[in-house]
Structure 1
Amino acid sequence: MFQQSIETSKSIAGIGRQGAIALALPGIAACAAVAGVAYGLRTLPGVHDFSPMIIAIALGMLVRNTIGVPAALTAGIGFSMRRLLRLAIILLGLQLTFGQVAETGVRGVAVILAAVAATFLFTLAVGRLMGADRRLTRLIAAGTSICGASAVAAANSVVDAHDEDVAYAVACVTVFGSVAMFAYPLLQGVLGLAPRDYGLWAGSSIHEIAQVVAATFAVGREAGDFGTVAKLTRVMTLAPVVFAMAAFLPAPGEAGSERPRAPLPWFVLGFIALVAVNSVVGLPDALKAETGVVSTFLLTMALAAMGLETSFVRLRAKGLKPALTGALASLFIASLSLILISLT
């Protein structure tokens, strides 16, 4: 189906913009429907702590591997995976400000930057040592070190991995992030960290924003507030990391040869520009809330599209090496962040 998406995209180029939009609408509508169902399922007990993006990719995979996906949806699915994803990441910039970085403090920023950089490099090294697929390893590295499923999706804009790789990486950060979400409050009872230190630990090491919120507010309001700010500061590293991946990591070929580096993801500049605008202008809270809803829904649609192109058969073929890589990476970022907080 991946090859089919490429061929369909080429045919779109020759039929004009209006024809291309008409061809893509059914697939876009299907992705929106899966995303809507994902939001609905979040109202169920025990599901609320999972982001709609994670639920959407799981639903998409379920549909793809049970009833199948008609060829008529291919163009819209490809559009959602690429164009809508980039628009969502740009809009995400309106949820962040440089002032939030300042609130974290020099110590907090130093811990976060060290944890992100070290975890990313550690994951690449472990993946190579284990012989795991390099594209998949890079997606796991981005998701573990930065912000879970959204980082996996953004990183794939330059990694150009198969949809099964994206689904596998999202599954890794979901499982290990969920384990951390439940384990951290229990560990806090043993460690006895100050509320802000606990918030910094969770914000600098747990994968998804929703998981950080659940793990920190379970301890208290002060820990929750600081943990959320620390996590948002960590999200700010998404842009430079994706740029660095495009600029310095050559894309591996199918047979181990190196292809030319991916083009720079210029849409990330839009993300940075909106962060700057939000920092300088101070946009109304209502506008930021509305764009936050739109950004999250578009990301959910993009992950739904990836799920709709993911085959369980190919997913199983990836084996356990990438999962073990993700587990070790999660343990590494949790341990390193705690050590850095204790030392400082």
Structure 2
Amino acid sequence: MSPTSHSLTSTPEAHHPRARPSRMGPHLAAVAPGVLLTAAIAAAALALRAIPTISGASPMLLAILIGILAHNVVGTPQWAVPGVKFSLRRVLRFAIILLGLQLTTAQLIEVGGEGLAIIAATLLATFSFTVWFGRLLGVDRKLAELIAAGTSICGASAIIATNTVTRADDEDVAYGVACVTVFGSLAMVIYPLLQGVLGLDAHGFGLWTGASIHEIAQVVAASFQGGQSAGEFGTIAKLSRVMMLAPLVIGLGLLARVRTRHQPSAPGKAAPPMPWFVLGFVAMIGLNEVIAIPHETKAWIVAATGFLLSMALAAMGLETDLRKLAARGLRPALLGLTAALFIAGFSLALIKLTGWHG
């Protein structure tokens, strides 16, 4: 390992995240190399998907893996540190705001009140169960919250959004992303095999996939195997679930501030920042409702959002120490598996008990 590969958290910037250069010029010059590095890794992740054997892999997963490999083999150079941190904070927040342009309130109407109730109940139950079971297993609270958010809402995007208020170690974020990627991918393969066995019609299968599979891409891949109608409804159900990211992250931010205020052992500890950028996410949903964005433009926005999220995860990888990641052990993986089984079983039970057919 090179001398430059020591933990980025030891740099002065990590201890003073709110410090700002006095002039914009020097600031841009400082962050540009690292931002270009994360963009190059994101581009490499997209290019790797041209290889048939990994064409189905998420570019976000590939980006974090490349970043982890680079950091642990050759080290993250000091000249890249400011830009890596910029990608991990500013670029991430901007990408989540743009994510709102993929959603509309009309999608909520199409799912219907009962369908939304099933999705919301599944989300709340899964998040609560995962945090509780994590405590039972002895998994660190912050890591348990990240796995809970990734499982209950939208995979890696939810994990990195939630971490803006949870403020877990980068290794925890990497572990959480790995969990939702592995178990979401397994669900993507297994769910279509169960549609006939479980007696689910197209809309029922679409709701089940949208309410319980981790990533949007995984939902699309699984639900369309049940037919065009199942695929379209599964995608809409999943996007409706993604809308619930905003209230969850804001709620966790408020809870974190209350928790910090009542910690006598850390009187000088700064309160976690409120995730105000999530309001930008909500504003973009509203904008998408009142302005008709051309299909070609929306496709470009979707691609740009995915690329920016891949940049943020590349930055996460460039801050991840594999030795610290291995120290987490297998208990968080067991938590991720149990959470995946819980969300699948709970959502299916609600669909069956309510007799929901869309």
TM-score (norm 1): 0.95
Name which of 87, 106, 112 aligns with 1:105.
Answer: 112
Distance 1:192 1:14 in 2: 61
Residue 272 of structure 2 aligns to a residue whose secondary structure is coil
Equivalent position of 1:67 in the other structure:
74
Tell me which moved more, 297-306 or 48-57: 48-57
Residue 193 of structure 1 and its aligned partner are, at CA, apart by: 0.8
Residues 170-211 of structure 1, C-alpha deviation per residue, up to 9 Å, x if partnerless? 000001001101110111132131011001000000000111
Residue 286 of structure 1 and its aligned partner are, at CA, apart by: 2.3
Equivalent position of 1:333 in the other structure:
343
Distance 1:260 1:7 in 2: 16
Residue 49 of structure 1 and its aligned partner are, at CA, apart by: 2.4
Equivalent position of 2:133 in the other structure:
126
Residue 20 of structure 1 aligns to a residue whose secondary structure is helix
1:1-344 map, 5 Å:
1-7=7-13, 10=16, 13-249=20-256, 261-344=271-354
Residue 46 of structure 1 aligns to a residue whose secondary structure is helix
Residue 5 of structure 1 and its aligned partner are, at CA, apart by: 4.5
Residues 251-300 of structure 1, C-alpha deviation per residue, up to 9 Å, x if partnerless? 679x9967665232100000100101111223222222222111111111
Residues 192-233 of structure 1, C-alpha deviation per residue, up to 9 Å, x if partnerless? 310110010000000001111111112211111110000000
Distance 1:243 1:71 in 2: 33
Aligned AA for 2:9? Q
The question of whether the paired residues in 1 share the 8 Å contact of 2:91 and 2:308 is answered with yes
The question of whether the paired residues in 2 share the 8 Å contact of 1:251 and 1:260 is answered with no
The question of whether the paired residues in 1 share the 8 Å contact of 2:174 and 2:320 is answered with yes
The question of whether the paired residues in 1 share the 8 Å contact of 2:203 and 2:233 is answered with yes
Distance 1:272 1:68 in 2: 38
Shift of the 5–85 alpha-carbon distance from structure 1 to 2, 3 Å rule, reads: farther
Name stretches of at least 5 consecutive residues in structure 1 with no aligned partner: none
Distance 1:314 1:209 in 2: 29
Distance 1:220 1:20 in 2: 51
Residue 72 of structure 1 and its aligned partner are, at CA, apart by: 0.8
Distance 2:264 2:138 in 1: 11
Distance 2:264 2:231 in 1: 45
Equivalent position of 2:4 in the other structure:
none
The question of whether the paired residues in 1 share the 8 Å contact of 2:8 and 2:14 is answered with no
Residue 129 of structure 1 and its aligned partner are, at CA, apart by: 1.0
Distance 2:68 2:121 in 1: 35
Residue 126 of structure 1 and its aligned partner are, at CA, apart by: 0.5
Distance 1:206 1:6 in 2: 40
The question of whether the paired residues in 2 share the 8 Å contact of 1:135 and 1:252 is answered with no
Distance 2:251 2:162 in 1: 10
Residues 103-140 of structure 1, C-alpha deviation per residue, up to 9 Å, x if partnerless? 11112101100011110111110011111111111111
Residue 148 of structure 1 aligns to a residue whose secondary structure is helix
Distance 1:152 1:256 in 2: 28
Report % sequence identity.
52
Aligned AA for 2:10? Q
Superposition RMSD on alpha carbons, in Å?
2.0
Distance 2:353 2:302 in 1: 36
Distance 1:225 1:44 in 2: 27
Distance 1:301 1:128 in 2: 32
The question of whether the paired residues in 2 share the 8 Å contact of 1:38 and 1:55 is answered with yes
Distance 1:130 1:76 in 2: 37
Distance 1:338 1:256 in 2: 43
Aligned AA for 1:292? V
Shift of the 300–151 alpha-carbon distance from structure 1 to 2, 3 Å rule, reads: same
List, as ranges, runs of 4+ consecutive aligned residues in structure 1 with deviation greater than 6 Å.
none
Residues 52-104 of structure 1, C-alpha deviation per residue, up to 9 Å, x if partnerless? 11111111111111121111110000000000000000111111001011111
Shift of the 279–141 alpha-carbon distance from structure 1 to 2, 3 Å rule, reads: same
Shift of the 8–152 alpha-carbon distance from structure 1 to 2, 3 Å rule, reads: closer
Q: How many pairs align? A: 343
Distance 2:16 2:352 in 1: 55
Shift of the 32–113 alpha-carbon distance from structure 1 to 2, 3 Å rule, reads: same
Distance 1:70 1:92 in 2: 31
Shift of the 43–137 alpha-carbon distance from structure 1 to 2, 3 Å rule, reads: same
